[in-house]
Chains A and B, each alone.
Chain A
């Protein structure tokens, strides 16, 4: 690892917008948090790697897309609410417009057999990506029987008993929090 480099000046709103736009456009085909780290920590030196990792943890914890939440965290660090808005706009506006354009083209032309054949292959690959998401974080919980049990109960409730997702989160979530409540901690 390189030495901890000196940080640059806190970015203004425009710089936040441009930086997050660069992150979004670099992440063709995924790997956005890796790009975010490369650009925010290594290239522009806005924050240390340590505070970046903290931000990533908070972003993953709270509901919402990780990458959007991370943009909120980065923006809010430097320019409070205005910074968060600038950063989220940067990461979202251009990619979303592009995707809407792709969507319009799709709904106009997907009935063409050649387009449909290509998509069939792409879809099978994308399904493999979806399948890998659970396996990717499985190793974190591998040695924790309680976590595996909670995951199994969640899975069975959704897949076998077809319980609604919101009901599952609202019932198993609090139980899981109680079971993981730090021992000996005072309330409040």
Chain B
């Protein structure tokens, strides 16, 4: 048996957790954010609530696919056992969340055009959209509750949400401005 407090046990926990979720990442993977929060903060105590909010913001701001937050969660989980375990765990987490869905996507990319007029394809396309919509609203609320505890922070979030919907300004500028406001002590947790 593996010692449940060891780095190896944490690594296995990370890999199993994300492998299991991979095929349920509908709507581009953002639908899993609330589940990540539940697992990483409440269930396994890999990171704190505040750290989750921070890691989400870092993953959004950095270049590359936004779903890379999983790598950061893995890093946080392994970090308790030292930086090396953190890096191994972060890398494994990203591979675990991507591998199953990517294998399915490879098969889909190689065969999708043959399914062109099949009813199952039509039903799949139209039916899963509304489910994704419902999940995304739930995810939005979860991230909001995790990130903001002060009315001014809520105001900033709602303002950014509106700007995202009604302008085409890069979100990077919103993060920059909000970061400066935070640094000056104007926005508090």
Residues of B within 8 A of A62 (CB): 101, 104-105, 108
Residue B4 is within 8 A (CB to CB) of chain A in the complex = no
Q: Interface residues of A toward B: which range?
A: 35 or more
- Interface of B, secondary structure class, is helix
The residue among B63, B66, B75, B91 with the most chain A CB atoms within 10 A of its own CB is B63
Give the bracket for the number of chain B residues in contact with chain A.
35 or more
- 1/0 per residue, CB under 8 A from B, across A1-37: the answer is 0000000000000000000000011111111100000
Q: Are A182 and B140 in contact (CB under 8 A)?
A: no
Indicate if the CB atoms of A178 and B29 lie closer than 8 Å: no
Q: Which residues of B contact A103 (CB under 8 A)?
A: 55, 58, 71-72, 75-76, 86, 90
The dominant DSSP class at the A interface is helix
**Chain A residues within 8 Å of B, Cβ to Cβ:** 24-32, 55, 57-69, 72-73, 76-77, 80-81, 84, 88, 91-92, 94-96, 98-100, 102-104, 106-107, 110, 114, 117-138, 140-141, 144, 146-155, 157-159, 165-166, 168-169, 172-173, 176-182, 185-187
CB<8 Å pairs between A and B, sample of 10: A64-B29, A65-B29, A68-B98, A68-B101, A99-B72, A121-B180, A128-B161, A131-B141, A152-B134, A180-B122
